[in-house]
Every structure is written in structure tokens, then in C-alpha cells.
């Protein structure tokens, strides 16, 4: 770190401007990086566990959250079950390769999830995935 001497009478002092620049750039980087993972955590849903899972291929999927109380949320908007197929069809009109990631709580009844799948099929969405947590084995390791 270069030392700066302002006059002949003063002791040299370290130049802190480059260090402050690096700290600010790192702060901005981490703020942006945490934004990417925030989309999956808008609500604290109790996701079911699965023994094996695969990543979703292709473009970024639309997130559809299904609450145990019966509420549906597509992206950032509340949606009624009757309007879900029309909303998905409108999204698919702009993006033919639309993928939908369903985040259903563990306590959601199977009948309600079947209605959600049916709405996706009616809208013509063929790339549907469900979000789960990996199962943790007895020793604390994740089974895949």
C-alpha cells in the first residue's frame, strides 16, 4: 500500500481509498448475489422431502406457491384457482418454453395439487417441476 506524504513535516500515512473501493465493490456484489436466491424464499413454506431430485433445465421457471390454507401465489401476485390456467396461458403466450416450479407446502392435500397440475396442463405448460427439500439420512448427510 503506497504511503502518502502531504508535506515534509507530516509522517507518511497509508492511502485507504483503494481499500474502501474494494470493500464497496464487494458489498455491492454480495447484495446482488443474495437477490438471486431471494425469489425462492418469499414465504416460509414447509416443503416436503424427497430422496432424489434434479435441477430444472432451461430458462428460469415461474414460481407457483401453494399454501396449505388454499392460497396460490404466481410470481408476486395472489391467484384464484379458477384464474390459474388463464394466467399460465397468458404467460405461455409470451414464452412458449415456459417452465413452472410448484412450491407446495407439505400439508397441501393431494386433490389441491392435482388441480394445480390440471391448470398447468390446460394452459399447455409441459415443463412442470416441484420444489422439495433433500432428505437427510440418520448420520446427517443428504441422500441423493
Summarize pLDDT for 41-55 with one digit per residue, the tens.
555 666 666 666 555
Say what the pLDDT of residue 23 is: 94
Residue 95 pLDDT > 70: yes
Pick the CATH number of 42-134 from 3.30.420.270, 1.10.3720.10, 3.90.190.20, 1.10.260.30: 3.30.420.270
Segment holding 31, helix H or strand E: helix 17-38
Write down the mean pLDDT value for the chain. 77
Domain with CATH 3.30.420.270 in the chain: 42-134
Which of the residue ranges 18-32, 36-50, 51-65 would you say has the lowest mean pLDDT? 36-50
Beta pairing class for 13-14 and 3-4 = antiparallel
Amino acid at each position: 500500500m503506497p504511503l502518502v506524504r502531504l508535506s515534509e513535516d507530516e509522517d507518511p500515512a497509508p492511502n485507504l481509498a483503494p481499500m474502501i473501493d474494494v470493500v464497496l465493490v464487494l458489498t455491492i456484489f454480495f447484495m446482488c448475489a443474495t437477490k438471486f436466491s431471494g425469489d425462492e424464499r418469499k414465504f416460509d413454506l414447509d416443503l416436503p422431502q424427497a430422496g432424489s431430485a434434479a435441477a430444472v433445465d432451461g430458462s428460469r421457471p415461474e414460481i407457483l406457491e401453494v399454501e396449505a390454507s388454499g392460497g396460490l401465489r404466481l410470481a408476486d401476485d395472489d391467484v384464484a384457482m379458477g384464474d390459474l390456467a388463464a394466467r399460465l396461458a397468458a404467460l405461455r403466450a409470451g414464452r412458449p418454453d415456459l417452465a413452472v416450479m410448484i412450491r407446495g407446502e407439505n400439508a397441501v392435500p393431494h386433490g389441491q395439487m392435482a388441480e394445480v397440475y390440471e391448470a398447468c396442463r390446460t394452459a399447455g405448460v409441459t415443463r412442470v417441476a416441484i420444489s422439495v427439500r433433500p432428505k437427510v439420512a440418520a448420520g446427517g448427510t443428504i441422500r441423493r
